Amino acid sequence: MIGFFTLFLVSSGLAGTGEIRDRKCPVCEESLSVTVLFSSNNAGGADPDLMRRAGGAFPLIVEPILCSKCHFATWSVSSLDEPVPEKLKTALLAQESPFVVPEFVPIVPSGPLRGPYTEGLDSKQTSPAWVRYDLLAQQLSFTGESAWLRYQAAHNAAWAVRLRENPLQEFLFDMTREQFTEALKGIDSKKERDNPAADQIDAARKILKNDALTKDQAVVAGFLLRTHGELTDLEEAWPRIVKAIGEEHLTSKVQKSIALERVYLGKALACVEELLLDPPEQVQPGVLHYLKGEFHRRLNQPAEAREAYAKALEGELPDWLKDWAKGQPELLSVVKPGPPE
Ligand SMILES: [Zn+2]
């Protein structure tokens, strides 16, 4: 159970991992509120698509920086000190900027809540992190940066959507500890691996094996599948989840959120396909095939996913990923060849 309680207790776990500072935009000199992380605390394990979680929460979503005036975007406070290419500066300061800010609901006192888990780490930037990564990806393309960097911006945007745009969050945070414990009653979460994130996905799938779901079970399972980006599982189970919760209006919100994440998964997939043509030294080809499988799986393309996983397992996988994949029976069942015909 310990891994699950971190959903509630994580704000204390993250205290002291960073702070908010004021900096200046290197392009237009506008003042910027930025988050400085001292440590990223990966005790929460990792999602199947390798997103690292800090005790169930996610410092990575607080790091990217976007200037609200000229729309310059960068990874984090440490990349803020790097020189900005002249071509990019000129484009940002031009009357007609080539960069498009996607539509979003600003994070302001009267707008959507900031995650309680990142309290004290969220800078005063009003754009969600996925918007910042979206602009960063556009600017990396504009300056002709490598597919490896563009892949990271796109994948981080997908992760940031997953964490930010979760319509079940408000329902989960309304639950008491007792209701939460009751919803997980009978769910065996004893695991040999040390990966709370993987355990949470497991728990969601086990909850959904119940014939009749209680409202609280539906909230917990739906929240966990959405926050871990298990999109195809969520879509399949959604009719039962929304019926048990009894809030039909959630359906369009969840669909919108899934569609938004898939935009960035599609972009990350395109970058990975580009990388496979000429793998960079930072990553083994087996990892790229594995990620390709993950993107296809989340885009609901099971045949393509199976093909990519099979290539990943052809002996090129690094040991850490092989070991880690052993703890994912659902994933491996996708990969395993079917019974002989
Ligand atoms: Zn600026």
pLDDT in tens, 78-131: 999 999 999 999 999 999 999 999 999 888 766 566 666 677 788 888 899 999
Q: How far is the CA of 108 from the centre of ligand 1 (A)?
A: 20
Q: How far is the CA of 152 from the centre of ligand 1 (A)?
A: 22
DSSP 57: B
Q: How far is the CA of 36 from the centre of ligand 1 (A)?
A: 19
Q: How far is the CA of 164 from the centre of ligand 1 (A)?
A: 24
Q: How far is the CA of 133 from the centre of ligand 1 (A)?
A: 15
pLDDT of residue 48: 87
35/22 Cα distance (integer angstroms): 9
Return the half-sphere exposure (C-beta side, CA atoms, 13 A cut-off) of residue 109: 0
93/95 Cα distance (integer angstroms): 7
Q: How far is the CA of 125 from the centre of ligand 1 (A)?
A: 13
User: Three-class SS of residue 73?
Assistant: strand
47/63 Cα distance (integer angstroms): 19
Q: How far is the CA of 70 from the centre of ligand 1 (A)?
A: 4
User: What is the secondary structure of 272-296 as a DSSP string?
Assistant: HHHHHHS--TTS-HHHHHHHHHHHH
Q: How far is the CA of 93 from the centre of ligand 1 (A)?
A: 8
Q: How far is the CA of 31 from the centre of ligand 1 (A)?
A: 8
Element (H, E) at 190: none
User: Three-class SS of residue 34?
Assistant: strand
Residue with token string 């739906």: 222
Q: Which carries the bigger pLDDT value, residue 331 or residue 156?
A: 156
Q: How far is the CA of 160 from the centre of ligand 1 (A)?
A: 22
pLDDT digits (tens, 9 = 90+) for 40-60: 667 788 888 998 887 666 677
Tokens of 176: 């008491």
Q: How far is the CA of 79 from the centre of ligand 1 (A)?
A: 14
Q: How far is the CA of 145 from the centre of ligand 1 (A)?
A: 20
pLDDT digits (tens, 9 = 90+) for 290-336: 999 999 999 999 899 989 988 887 866 788 787 777 666 556 565 55
pLDDT of residue 333: 60
251/253 Cα distance (integer angstroms): 5
Contacts of 333 (CB under 8 A, 6+ apart): none
Checking if the pLDDT of 205 tops 60, the result is yes
| Mean local confidence (pLDDT), 257-271 | 98
18/335 Cα distance (integer angstroms): 40
**Model confidence pTM above 0.85:** yes
Q: How far is the CA of 157 from the centre of ligand 1 (A)?
A: 21
pLDDT of residue 111: 59
Is 222 within 8 Å of 241 (Cβ atoms)? yes
Is 27 within 8 Å of 14 (Cβ atoms)? no
- Residue 16 CB burial class (10 angstroms; 0-12, 13-18, ≥19): exposed
Average pLDDT, the chain: 87
58/225 Cα distance (integer angstroms): 16
Q: Closest Cα partner for 59 from 34, 79, 37?
A: 37
Look at the chain and count its residues.
341
